[in-house]
Amino acid sequence: MTGAGDDGRLLSGLLVVDFSQFLAGPLAGLKLADLGARVIKIERPGVGDLCRNLYLSEINVANTNTLFHAINRNKQSYAADLKSASDLARVKRLVEQADIVIQNFRPGVIERLGLDYETVKAINPGVIYASISGFGSEGEWRDLPGQDLLAQARSGIMWLTGNADHSPVPIGLAIADQLAGNFVVQGVLAALVRRATSGAGAHIETSLLEAVLDFQFEVLTTHLNDPERKLPRRSAVNNAHAYLAAPYGVYQTSDGYVAIAMTPVDRLGQILGCEAIAAMTDPQSWFDRRDEIKALLRDHLVLQTTAHWMERLKAEDVWASEVLDWPSLFRTGGFEALDFFQQLDLGDGQTIETTRSPLRVDGHTLKSPRPAPAIGQHNATIDQEFGLAGDDKRETTK
């Protein structure tokens, strides 16, 4: 294992063998790759990760979708048919040399392939093995398809977003996948610390459902300690958090929107020049009369521009923000200072623009121009480097 270079690649020298597809597992691999680990993505010959053809929109670059590039950049691809005895033998020799293995098959699949944790541990005792499932490895949901929207649906989180009269509202991002991927990385990094002192490997497990449940830990704790176990109550007006009092929410102005977080309602009324709100001095009423207060704010804030209100709110250090769309965000000096985008070099003069790692290490942003690989792009290199070359005859097993 080599040390981190001057560019902040803290995991330089670590080898990750990644069997995962779609988003949660590949996202974990991406985070490790950005920190300097070498990630070898195992893919089916000719097919690859099914995410290669999962299109979010009509946008594609170099005949591949942007989603695949976003989460599989900075990796290598090794094509192997895991039902072929010779290919499986090669992959096992590669796994034997890995520091970290990632898989997100449904429970039981990786066991049938002979690449489960106990089997891998037998040939590589110090391996850190990460598993992500949809709903855990036990229980009545273990064999159900693990997909982000379905995990959100079963987690209760859809009853927290939207107003009181709305139907269940999913969060408009793949939060279950992204949270699970990041949680796995936390576990892997902790396991690396333990291995450095004891030599012991570890099996890190999470599921999409557990990730979304953890995401709700604040409100679930409130619910669990409520003697009546009341369900969350979404505000009927501009709901932004089912458990927080007024003024917490997003309000329309004459030319845009402002978001206002926690602040004393009576003080806010004074700052905004709204006498009806300024007169509400009882903090208990700020939740009990939440909808009434927010309706008053809604009717008052729409009378002036966003800039007018933000000037007042900033002057009094109120927790508030204008609500930006992407183009207006990109034009701000605050965003420009983050240097958050990077270009991936696809060759032949083609590039794709995407985000970088959100981390800085010793002042360095973690960028890499390497795009997502083609299926099996690195087979020859990996075969030679890891001593996998040999009998090329593929034998399909049942």
Catalytic residue ranges:
177
Contact of 77 with 374, CB cutoff 8 Å? yes
Close Cβ partners of 377 (under 8 Å, ≥ 6 residues apart)? 76, 77
User: Residue 133 in contact with residue 141, Cβ under 8 Å?
Assistant: no
Q: How far apart are CA 96 and CA 93, in angstroms?
A: 5
Contact (Cβ atoms closer than 8 angstroms) between residue 4 and residue 39: no
The neighbouring-strand residues paired with 60 are 65
Is the alpha carbon torsion for 150, 152, 158, 159 positive or negative? positive
The CA-CA-CA angle for residues 309, 314, 316, to 5°, reads 105
Q: What is the DSSP letter of 136?
A: -
d(CA 18, CA 16): 6
Q: Cα(380)–Cα(389) distance, rounded to whole angstroms?
A: 8
Query: 144, 150 in Cβ contact below 8 A?
Result: yes
Listed residue (65, 32, 46, 211) closest to 135, CA to CA: 211
The secondary structure of 212-232 as a DSSP string is: HHHHTHHHHHHHHT-TT-PPP
CA–CA dist 184, 180 (Å, integer): 6
Stretch (H or E) spanning 362: none
